[in-house]
Chain A
Amino acid sequence: MKLKSILSATTVLAMAATTAAADKAEVQFWHAMGGQLGEIVDKFAADYNGGSDSCQINAVYKGNYTENMTAAIAAFRAGEQPHIVQVFEVGTATMMAAGEKGAIYPVHELMADAGVDFDQSAYLPAVVSYYTDTDNKLLSMPFNSSTPVLWYNKTALDAAGVAVPTTWDEVEVAARALKESGVTKPFSFGWQSWSNIENYSAWHNLPVGSEENGFASLETEFTFNNEAVVNHIQRIADMGKEGTFVYGGRRGDSRAQFVNGETALWINSSAYYGGFKKDITEFEFGQAMLPLDTAVADAPQNSIIGGATLWVLQGHESPEYACVADFFQFVSAAEQQAYWHQETGYVPITNAAYDLSQEQKFYESDPMTDTAIKQLSLNTPTPASKGVRFGNFVQVRDIINEELEAVWSGQKDAQTALDEAVARGNKLLRKFEAANK
């Protein structure tokens, strides 16, 4: 009840702030981009509004990804939903399930209804495949996508006399050498479920769950307690015992370790680039492709994305939806996407934006910033590497966090923890299936 009233109050405020542009069709756009990212979103909205005489986009920052999604869902239940809401990749299954009940205006339909010429093949396959339905139709508009890469401290690696590792065996060796040369927490990572289970699996073409990682049906079950993942997690746990890996928290908390030089090998999103460029002055850093586990595969498959897309919610007037379609065209245009990519480190979501960045010689002035896009387009995505789509996945990731933390702290071995994570996760999948029948 309380939430509802807060929400309607903020909606009223948002509306009051924008009555100035009364004769334009107004579109509410709720996003989760704070700081520098938020400024660019605001710039996009302002640029678009300046160039349009029939549409007004009101971009509103609603907190982090979960807060934004929760706010939009609560608003929908109260009949006060925005037109566009930015939802992170793990919320996809929830949004899709709602789509089947009519809450979502699928992007391919929106574009067709608005008469906008929309070419899905212009987008990167690894990005689009995460958000398409079973008929390969796009449901939400890709906006900010990233993928985990291996960030390294070049200065520290040179001092330790080791090259940038390309396999997990080399990671172990390099971490040992770094430790000896005085790096206190040589190896670490953030968003561990995403980087070390979901992406580790995709990179080696292993499914995380049955039913094509959940894309095919709600009856999916987790399978990430397989031998390869267990060995991988156990390897990191052993590195922890040796002192060459130090856990630095869920999400991006361990970023501090990398920035202040305590950690020299760090696996996390490519979208840290913009911040690193500004914050890291004391050493030379770079990014490389994720290490390969040679015991599992001879060559990497492709990595999967993280980040968010823009979903359109039902329940508004058609002129407003025409504006939404128009705005989507605008933000996905090469110019906007290339700018976004170069400023933030998110991948350019269209081939045109990638080409434009090449033309602008961005990869020469900022070398290796195309690592993420190369990783994503390394091969044509397979059912195991096109993404994951599980219900209640926000909570499942919490479970994985908990179980992995039990491994890092030595309370459980990798097998026990992953078995437990799978069992607990499957319960949530069954619950989601029951709730969304």
Chain B
Amino acid sequence: MQKRVVFRSRLLPYLLVLPQIAITLIFFFWPAYQALESSFFIEDAFGFSRQWVAMQNYVELFQDPSYLRSFKTTLIFGVSVAVMAMSISLGLAVAANRVVKAATGYRTMLIWPYAVAPALAGVIWYFLMNPSLGIVAYWLKNVGVDWNHYLNGDQALLLVIVAAAWKQVSYNFLFFLAGLQSIPKSLIEAAAIDRAGPVRRFWTIVFPLLTPTTFFLLVVNLVYAFFDTFALVHATTEGGPVDATSILVFRVYNTGFIGQDYGSSAAQSVILMGLVIMMTFVQFRFVERKVQY
């Protein structure tokens, strides 16, 4: 039999969801609408005048080859960050789950980087890899790699990917660890009795049972990589060299907050919003089918 809560007053349920709706309206729909509106205008920095320019801001963006390259950069960046952050944290979670002694100690240490702000995470890595001062760059030189992210675009992109992924590992680790701990021991023991080795047990039992967590983290990580990383890029490479690390969200920030070109920045954020809505849709429509709840 289905359990149902019946409200006596017809008004009460609406009243109860009202705060949530109000928050969504004020903090999501209103700014989103404002961005959409601003994207059809050009405006001076101090806001004295604005002119309707219809689609001009959009047209200019799509005529800019550098902007179009950003889509590819963003995709490489987003996917690499998500894959790197998730695989490393899964590995760590599996390892931490097996640790018997001092388990809390390890876990605390692994969760620590999450408290670091993205910009700082960037700066830490930037410093480690600095061609003149960085210890990692020094090691790389010793093994024959000439590291200069000021000049080499691929190296710069790698740098921001590593920094962004490193920061996200802790968050993913927490969820994976919780996921692993909720897998019933009896299943694994049964498989062990059937002579399945640890690797096989992981891929046939643990990993499928973790898919809801993995899927959730995939969505969260991609959103993080697409939206949350502008400060990291701003604090380190500033989108360069050339435009090798100009991911879309960094351009939104740079055009709007640094360049004070609000129209173009708004148009870019509308495009980015569209892209992420599309991506999330694809994820829920196609990837979620593979998830076993």
Question: Are the CB atoms of B44 and A436 closer together than 8 Å?
Answer: yes
Question: Are the CB atoms of B51 and A435 closer together than 8 Å?
Answer: yes
* The one of B46, B242, B255 that contacts A395, using a Cβ cutoff of 8 Å: B255
Alpha-carbon separation in the docked complex, A270 to B245 (Å): 30
* The one of A76, A253, A395 that contacts B259, using a Cβ cutoff of 8 Å: A395
Question: Are the CB atoms of A70 and B257 closer together than 8 Å?
Answer: yes
Question: Are the CB atoms of A76 and B46 closer together than 8 Å?
Answer: yes
Chain B residues lying within 8 Å of A431, measured Cβ to Cβ, are 42, 261
Alpha-carbon separation in the docked complex, A247 to B241 (Å): 10
Question: Are the CB atoms of B240 and A401 closer together than 8 Å?
Answer: yes
Using known A-B contacts A256-B133, A398-B239, A402-B240, determine if residue A73 contacts B258 with beta carbons closer than 8 Å.
no
Tell whether A38 is near chain B: CB-to-CB under 8 Å: no
Which A86-140 residues have a C-beta within 8 angstroms of B?
A: 94, 97-98, 101, 103
Stretch of B70-78, B89-97, B146-154 lying at the A interface: B146-154
Which B7-49 residues have a C-beta within 8 angstroms of A?
A: 30-31, 34, 42-49
Q: Output the least CB separation between A293 and chain B (Å).
A: 24
Question: Are the CB atoms of A253 and B260 closer together than 8 Å?
Answer: no
Which residue, of B131, B148, B243, has the highest number of chain A Cβ atoms within 10 A? B131
Considering only CB atoms, which chain B residue lies closest to A257 in the complex?
B132
Chain A residues lying within 8 Å of B261, measured Cβ to Cβ, are 392, 395, 428, 431
Chain A residues lying within 8 Å of B168, measured Cβ to Cβ, are none
Question: Are the CB atoms of B42 and A434 closer together than 8 Å?
Answer: yes
Using known A-B contacts A1-B31, A246-B148, A247-B151, determine if residue A101 contacts B46 with beta carbons closer than 8 Å.
yes
Tell whether B254 is near chain A: CB-to-CB under 8 Å: yes
Chain B residues lying within 8 Å of A408, measured Cβ to Cβ, are 151, 241
Using known A-B contacts A70-B260, A103-B48, A394-B258, determine if residue A248 contacts B150 with beta carbons closer than 8 Å.
yes
Chain A residues lying within 8 Å of B130, measured Cβ to Cβ, are 256
Binding site for A on B (CB under 8 A): 30-31, 34, 42-49, 51, 60, 66, 130-133, 148, 150-153, 238-243, 254-255, 257-261
Tell whether A336 is near chain B: CB-to-CB under 8 Å: no
Alpha-carbon separation in the docked complex, A405 to B242 (Å): 5
Tell whether A212 is near chain B: CB-to-CB under 8 Å: no
Q: Output the least CB separation between A436 and chain B (Å).
A: 5
Considering only CB atoms, which chain B residue lies closest to A399 in the complex?
B66
Q: Output the least CB separation between B175 and chain A (Å).
A: 27
Considering only CB atoms, which chain A residue lies closest to B152 in the complex?
A409
Tell whether A274 is near chain B: CB-to-CB under 8 Å: no
Chain B residues lying within 8 Å of A98, measured Cβ to Cβ, are 44-46, 48
Alpha-carbon separation in the docked complex, A101 to B240 (Å): 35
Question: Are the CB atoms of A250 and B44 closer together than 8 Å?
Answer: no
Question: Are the CB atoms of A250 and B46 closer together than 8 Å?
Answer: no
Alpha-carbon separation in the docked complex, A431 to B56 (Å): 11
Chain A residues lying within 8 Å of B152, measured Cβ to Cβ, are 409
Considering only CB atoms, which chain B residue lies closest to A100 in the complex?
B48
Alpha-carbon separation in the docked complex, A427 to B57 (Å): 12
Alpha-carbon separation in the docked complex, A98 to B49 (Å): 10
Q: Output the least CB separation between B68 and chain A (Å).
A: 14
Using known A-B contacts A103-B46, A257-B132, determine if residue A411 contacts B242 with beta carbons closer than 8 Å.
yes
Question: Are the CB atoms of A1 and B242 closer together than 8 Å?
Answer: no
Chain B residues lying within 8 Å of A260, measured Cβ to Cβ, are 132-133
Alpha-carbon separation in the docked complex, A408 to B238 (Å): 17
Question: Are the CB atoms of B46 and A77 closer together than 8 Å?
Answer: yes
Considering only CB atoms, which chain A residue lies closest to B241 in the complex?
A405
Question: Are the CB atoms of A409 and B241 closer together than 8 Å?
Answer: yes
Alpha-carbon separation in the docked complex, A92 to B222 (Å): 39
Q: Output the least CB separation between A253 and chain B (Å).
A: 7
Using known A-B contacts A73-B260, A247-B150, A247-B151, determine if residue A406 contacts B133 with beta carbons closer than 8 Å.
no
Which A1-32 residues have a C-beta within 8 angstroms of B?
A: 1-2
In addition to A94-B260, A260-B133, A402-B240, 15 A-B residue pairs with Cβ atoms within 8 Å of each other are A70-B260, A98-B44, A101-B46, A247-B148, A249-B150, A250-B240, A260-B132, A395-B255, A395-B261, A401-B240, A405-B240, A409-B153, A431-B42, A431-B261, A436-B44
Tell whether A66 is near chain B: CB-to-CB under 8 Å: yes
Question: Are the CB atoms of A398 and B153 closer together than 8 Å?
Answer: no
Alpha-carbon separation in the docked complex, A428 to B260 (Å): 12
Chain A residues lying within 8 Å of B254, measured Cβ to Cβ, are 395, 398
